[in-house]
Structure 1
């Protein structure tokens, strides 16, 4: 049985990942909701700065960790001139600062695993940019750079660092779209359907597997051929 930390565990993708890994020992983090599946759960608002000792206290009884799966995400759809700096800070904290804090605290525990894994859920927009979502896309792009950099930095260890970049995933974010926006997207998507959360979770589980040890610094595109 492996031991994994899942952040954003109550979101659509995080919950799908949790479901596939529910037979392992899972430690989860979310802002307010409880996860659907069994875990040792902690509430932490990742969109706000926090001190590393909060994490160290929460995980003090964990010696060896096999993987960190970073799933939190919050859409921000707006023109840049209408986006507040507070919203920018929240996106930065959620996508970058909190991720860095977790990596720093968990690194000694991941080093003790025979196959330590870090998997970050990024986005198609981090690969290609997105009008009206420039801040969200920028932070996802920063995640990609961090993934590739840490993969090099940890290459002499048994830790791999990879990302998964989903396209349009069915769930809470797409539920917010108007009928016309959903119809427009369907026309754009080669498969004429949204990506299913379990498809993203399956990619995560592959990257966690010990047989994926030579996959490092990669960003897996799960977008149904939608290369914008």
Structure 2
């Protein structure tokens, strides 16, 4: 039987690697993106070798209309991988209210609404899966990334609470908390800052996006059949 998964933020570094990893495992994919149409077209071309159903959906998840647009294009669904995210670096006291609102909508409001609306579809299956990509900063917090840390921490609390509520319905809900990952989100830092960051990490390097994608795939597999409500830290020993 065909299995379908939604990947939000599929045009980004972690999202696209997750799409590749899941396609190799035979998943038909709803591939969400917002601005990066060129990256999505490239991803669709790369995934075409798998002969699967690939359904691109453009939507701005910081708006209610964008969330509705996404939901209106989802039919059968077995898994949700919420990878969408934006970052903001700066002092909390200097942050515009609009940034706070957008960060909260994309990281907290959107996944809660999307998962709430799709839960009835997920519960029709014998087994379904939800994975949210949170962050190391949702676990421990970061100066100058207060809003991001708060939103990612809220994701973790959401996972822990909802997983208990739906466990007997056959829906497993978990989170992945990456540390520093070598994606475009790291573009705000200089090379010297990245080197200094690597020196803080016990394993001495940034994560590759594929390492996060493989962790997501593990949580979607039968190898994780008794895991729900958990946060898997993938951070090279940076925070334990």
* TM-score bucket of the superposed structures, by smaller chain: over 0.9
Unaligned 5+ residue runs, structure 2?
48-53
Unaligned 5+ residue runs, structure 1?
none
- Check whether the contact 1:115–1:210 (CA below 8 A) recurs between aligned residues: no
Structure 2 residue corresponding to 1:66, chosen from 78, 95, 108: 78
Determine helix, strand or coil for the equivalent of 1:21. Answer: helix
- Check whether the contact 1:147–1:162 (CA below 8 A) recurs between aligned residues: yes
- Check whether the contact 2:136–2:178 (CA below 8 A) recurs between aligned residues: yes
1:29 is matched with which residue? 32
Determine helix, strand or coil for the equivalent of 1:214. Answer: coil
Aligned pairs, how many? 225
Deviating more after overlay: 83-92 vs 205-214:
205-214
- Check whether the contact 1:52–1:105 (CA below 8 A) recurs between aligned residues: no
- Check whether the contact 1:49–1:93 (CA below 8 A) recurs between aligned residues: no
**Whole-angstrom CA distance in 1 between matches of 2:211 and 2:130:** 18
1:5 is matched with which residue? 6
Deviation of the 1:101 alpha carbon? 1.3
Matched, 1:86 2:108: no
Matched, 1:166 2:181: no
User: What TM-score do you get using the length of structure 1 for normalisation?
Assistant: 0.94
**Whole-angstrom CA distance in 1 between matches of 2:94 and 2:71:** 37
2:51 is matched with which residue? none
User: What TM-score do you get using the length of structure 2 for normalisation?
Assistant: 0.89
1:123 is matched with which residue? 135
- Check whether the contact 1:55–1:105 (CA below 8 A) recurs between aligned residues: no
Deviation of the 1:55 alpha carbon? 3.8
